[in-house]
Amino acid sequence: MAQRKPIVAGNWKMNGSVELVSQVCDEVKKYSNSNVDVIIFPPALLLSEVLSENVEAGTQTISEFDSGAFTGEIHAQLAKQLGAKYTLVGHSERRSIFKESDQQVADKFAKAQEFGLIPILCVGETESEREAGKTEQVVAKQIKAVISKLGIAALNDSVIAYEPVWAIGTGKTASPEQAQAVHKFIRDMLIAYDEQVANALRILYGGSVNEKNSELLFAQADIDGGLIGGASLKKDAFASICKSAVGNV
């Protein structure tokens, strides 16, 4: 991981407050430096609040469209103009609750890059898919949808987050060895396309990451940080996770 700058990203989902922004940012901004990127993905209405604290931020989703009658959608260009640097695309909750297909996720990925946002592509299998031995098949299909649309070079300006769906918000966490195995599979798969792109790509782990397991997870060879859910809403826990990423640089 020494060659790839780790990321610790907090996905707040539909949680948080103006007060929490101030509390969390005060704790974590000291860790965001030349060695680690700390990013917060707050609810869209709190984006400017996070940016005003001099902490990097992104949106939890963007629209694949440029403009039009799409009530409630987030325009990639406006997010960029407000100061967002990143956006999540393809989070499992977007795929399952809002029925986003692999193709739609690829379209959002493309739109993010078109307007200068760095997409963090979320991939991962459900519990039933893991039990059926389909983890690699599912993850490969989700990533190849983007490669098919944009080519392998598009991954130069992106991040991948492996989030096993069965571990998100459940308290279950893939063991460091389980997570590393999937991360290595992703990197090896991409090496077949372009070794340089694959070796430079940052791949994050997400799924009930907390201050107790982050150090061991981040110590794995192909895990370049984490996409943190519930623990990113707790200032001390999130700061501890950031500190463990610094310690593994």
Q: Is 68 annotated as a binding residue?
A: no
Phi, psi for residue 208 in degrees, rounded to 5: 60, 40
Q: Which amino acid is at 164?
A: P
Between strands 37-41 and 118-123, the pairing is unpaired
Task: Mark 107-122 as b/e (b = at least 16 C-beta within 10 Å).
Answer: bbbbbbbebebbbbbb
Q: Choose, from 56, 64, 91, 100, the residue flagged as catalytic.
A: 91
Torsion angle of C-alpha atoms 218, 237, 119, 132, degrees rounded to 10: 60
**Cβ 120 vs Cβ 58: under 8 Å:** yes
Q: Does the annotation place 230 within a ligand binding site?
A: yes
Question: Is 15 within any annotated ligand binding site?
Answer: no
Cα–Cα distance measured from residue 8 to residue 33, given in angstroms and rounded to the nearest whole number: 12
229 labeled binding residue: yes
Is 163 an annotated catalytic residue? yes
13 is in an annotated binding site: yes
Determine the Cα–Cα distance for residues 126 and 109; give it in Å rounded to an integer: 22
State the burial class of residue 215 (Cβ atoms within 10 Å of its Cβ: 0-12, 13-18, 19+): middle
Tokens read off for 76: 């990639």
> 54 among the known binding-site residues?
no
Q: Is 91 annotated in the active site?
A: yes
Catalytic residue among 49, 64, 100, 163: 163
Tokens (6 digits) for 35: 């060695």
Q: Give the residue from 244, 241, 248, 247 showing the smallest Cα distance to 9.
A: 241
> Could you give the residue numbers annotated as active site?
91, 163
Instruction: Give the annotated binding-site residues.
Output: 11-13, 169, 208, 229-230
Instruction: Give the annotated binding-site residues for substrate.
Output: 11-13, 169, 208, 229-230
